[in-house]
Structure 1
Amino acid sequence: MTRRHLSFLALAGFLVLGRCLALGEESGKEDEITPPVAIYKVDPTHPTELYARGVEGEAIIIATVDRFGTVLDPIVDRATHEEFGLAAMLAASEWIFDPAVKNGVPIQLKVRIPFEFEISFEHLLNVEMGREVFQELKVPVIPSFELDQAPLPSFVPAFADFYPEAFRNSGKSAAVSVEFIIDPKGNVINPRIISISTPGFEEAAIRAVAHMQYKTIRFEGQPVYVSLMMPIQFSP
């Protein structure tokens, strides 16, 4: 997977610092302030080292939005890693807002801008396995039914170890059909779900089969890529 597969999320929930209501001196009515709204956003760049390690996190930036909608003096309020704070601060400085309004007049106001640094499941699995599980193949792949004998794994992990934490103590089970390719080294690559009885077990099934290992498969004396479909059962 490359970084362009990633998708990084910048949340746009803005919490205005301080009171948003001020007492009108002459009318005796409260003056209501409309907070600024982002009209142009820039996603932060996931720091290279943290991305390579599969580290996710968040950062919150405090900044002033002036009456023209420009972000001024962004600072890091908090961040799970210093690098996330710096990346978020750079991104926030490029945002543009419809400014806050009080009694129909644009005003300057401070805001909090939260950012989340997330990584795709595919890349996280690559990091976990220490190899490229998902690859673009430009070589022939032989269906397993064309072989004289169906491939047998040399290692099968305990599927129970991959049971989703979100379903612990739920009593849920799942039957999953997964298709994948066995590369010439015996590694499982490009796993995908064909069918599933209970939604929510997809990533567990992909992770489980990615840990399986096969011996090198040969066809007409040459190491080959072989596609295979396998049913998996998850039980509580």
Structure 2
Amino acid sequence: MMTLKPWLMAGLMGATLLSQAHAAELIQNGGFELQGVDAYDIVGWQVAEAGILGSVLAQQGTTTEVTGNTTVGAYQGTHYGLLDNNGLASNILYQNFTTSAVSQATLTFQMFVNNQSASSAVDAGGLDYTVDATDHPNQHVRVDILKAGSDPFSTSQGDVLQSLYLGGANGTLAANNYLSYQFDLTSILSGGGQFMLRFASVANQGSLQLGVDNISLQTASAVPEADTNALMLVGLGLIAAIMRRRAQ
């Protein structure tokens, strides 16, 4: 009976375990630069709007198109995604994406929230701006990961897989600076599937702006290197040759 040398056994085991992490970017047009001009039809993104006093667009400059309020402008490049709500509206910017099984998934983006109202209330009505403004103030933004195919306005636990941001302004009531956000989504995306990334605002107290830029969802998956199988076959061939020689 042939006994493999320790170095040969270790080499073969290493050949079967060697792998490399393949990275993928899942978000299209995360910097909002593909249009080159201000646009309500944003490449790679979808929009849902309710009410008549708000809009979603790829914006440049520091004066918003709908409310005429001041922002800090783009975080990077010339354009950024803007949910510009003048009150009595709900605005959604979302993107569906598909991934295979992953070993790591990290979402990053820069975001500011400007709120011209002193209220930053989150009502049980979710993203419904029509709730009574006196008894049920509803003035906030949210960022979520949802199941693909969900109603873009849904806040149901059956649709929302993880809430990443829920609340009001990220600073004073004036033009706030961007803050950087990073989230580990590995546990949600590990098995692969179809998902939705959503940025949303709802306002029934006054104007509200959500600006977002430089959105990236990087995933990594461990897959065998192209040369690993070949290396393993060479090793097995070497073992077969040794066995044949010993049998003669």
TM-score scaled by length of structure 1: 0.24
Q: More helix by proportion, 1 or 2?
A: 1
Higher relative contact order (CA 8 A, sep 6+): 2
TM-score scaled by length of structure 2: 0.23
